[in-house]
Amino acid sequence: MFKLPSISLYIHIPWCLKKCGYCDFYSYVSKDSIPEKKYIEHLLKDFEKDLHLINDRKISTIFIGGGTPSLLQSNSIKKLIHGIKIRNMISKNAEISIEANPKTLEYQRFMHYKDAGVNRFSLGVQTFNSNLLKKIERTYTSKEVISAVIESKKVNDNLNLDLIYGLPDQSLEDALLDLQYAIKYNPSHISWYQLTIEPNTSFYAKKIKLPHENIIFNMLIEGDKLLEKSGYKKYEISSYSKLNYQCQHNLNYWNFGDYIGIGCGAHGKITQKNGKIIRTIKNKNINDFLSGNYLNSIFTVSKRDKIFEYFMNVFRLYQPVYKKHFREQTNLNESLIKKNIQIAIQEGFLINELDFWHTTKKGKNFLNLLLEIFLN
């Protein structure tokens, strides 16, 4: 019998202090005061309009992202979380995360977030090197980063630090030093991403030069070794955690779970009782959104796209892909992908077992080539 997957909630806060040159996320630069009271009211109305799609499922995780959610006042975050809770049954032990910019934080704000129900902080550190912070156009210094990390640790042990490697003019030693700094403060989770320059960014227009690919590859290899040696287990392509501290919200994404997306430009994926998957995209225009025009588009995912999207997510994880899980999450039979699986095995990307498929080291290193097989 088909079973609806677990469902999460993503809340997008679109304002930032400054648009970073490498960032392609949807955001507004905050030049004037933010209409946060009005925005919170409309976020909750947006949430209400989506509730009929989820078939009485409890929200298992909440992630407040952006943009820079920590630009909002603590009372706004408290009102937002309370508003969600009174409109829907939240799982008792739900993970509630908030992204934060070190420039906008102090001890009291962390305390208020915790009082509001936030139980996981995610700091956008990117690098501890002040010179590199300037080059990637961040608005804070290394000193402010360290202060934010220390203050957050006083309030909550469940802390993620976002770091990026492969920055302009970054050496292997620089990258490893960033990791050493992060490990020193003992966060429960470290997200370590390779910088990629997307076409719709100012870095792309400026043709910013990145380190040689051999240097970047060595950053990955040596960084993996350092993190593993320091007690961090790699459970996803760019995610490392202490025991039992994996990000549950992102795990739901990568296991092809469902999520409501509310706020300007937010995306949602919601499975229906008949097995069809609906995707929602919210209005990017802040003025339209604040006028009550929330939904930009809603559509049903095709069978072909459903298959590709499933593998695009689950192949990121360092765990077997169970055939039963494929059937449960897609409401499709694996016979539909028999030829694709055979090609992936022949290419050395996959190993086929009785109950699951396992991605080889080659498959992880050439993930894009593996995924291309499932586009057809």
If DSSP codes are grouped into helix, strand and coil, which group holds residue 334? helix
C-alpha to C-alpha distance for 116 and 373, rounded to whole angstroms: 45
**Is 193 within 8 Å of 167 (Cβ atoms)?**
no
Which CATH architecture group holds 7-252? Alpha-Beta Barrel (3.20)
Gyration radius of the chain's alpha carbons: 21
Q: Which residues pair with 15 in a beta bridge?
A: 28
First-residue to last-residue Cα distance in the chain: 28
If DSSP codes are grouped into helix, strand and coil, which group holds residue 278? strand
C-alpha to C-alpha distance for 97 and 32, rounded to whole angstroms: 26
Residue-level pLDDT at 89: 83
Chain centroid to CA 331: how far? 25
| Pairing between β-strand 59-66 and β-strand 90-100 as defined by DSSP bridges | parallel
Distances (CA, A) of 187 to 63, 108, 183, 241: 18, 20, 7, 9
Q: For the chain, 376 residues long, give each residue's pLDDT as a single digit of tens.
A: 578 999 999 999 999 877 777 776 767 776 568 899 999 999 999 999 999 999 989 999 999 998 889 889 999 999 999 999 999 889 989 999 999 988 877 778 889 999 999 999 999 999 999 999 999 988 889 999 999 999 999 999 999 999 999 999 999 999 999 999 999 999 999 999 999 888 888 888 888 999 999 999 999 999 999 999 999 999 999 999 999 999 999 999 999 999 999 999 999 999 999 999 999 999 999 999 999 999 999 999 999 999 999 999 999 999 999 999 999 999 999 999 999 999 999 999 999 999 999 999 999 989 999 999 998 7
Residue-level pLDDT at 32: 67
C-alpha to C-alpha distance for 126 and 376, rounded to whole angstroms: 36
Cis peptide before 223 (omega within 30 of 0): no
C-alpha to C-alpha distance for 174 and 159, rounded to whole angstroms: 23
C-alpha to C-alpha distance for 353 and 234, rounded to whole angstroms: 23
Nearest Cα neighbor of 192 from 168, 158, 226 is 226
Residue-level pLDDT at 30: 66
Residue-level pLDDT at 237: 94
Q: CATH 3.20.20.70 residue ranges in the chain?
A: 7-252
C-alpha to C-alpha distance for 51 and 321, rounded to whole angstroms: 30
Is-above-0.85 flag for pTM? yes
If DSSP codes are grouped into helix, strand and coil, which group holds residue 66? strand
Distances (CA, A) of 304 to 249, 255, 330: 25, 18, 11
Amino acid at the residue 155 = V
The residue to which tokens 């080059």 are assigned: 135
Nearest Cα neighbor of 251 from 139, 365, 95 is 95
Q: Which residues pair with 113 in a beta bridge?
A: none
Residue-level pLDDT at 247: 98
Nearest Cα neighbor of 314 from 303, 330, 299, 302 is 330
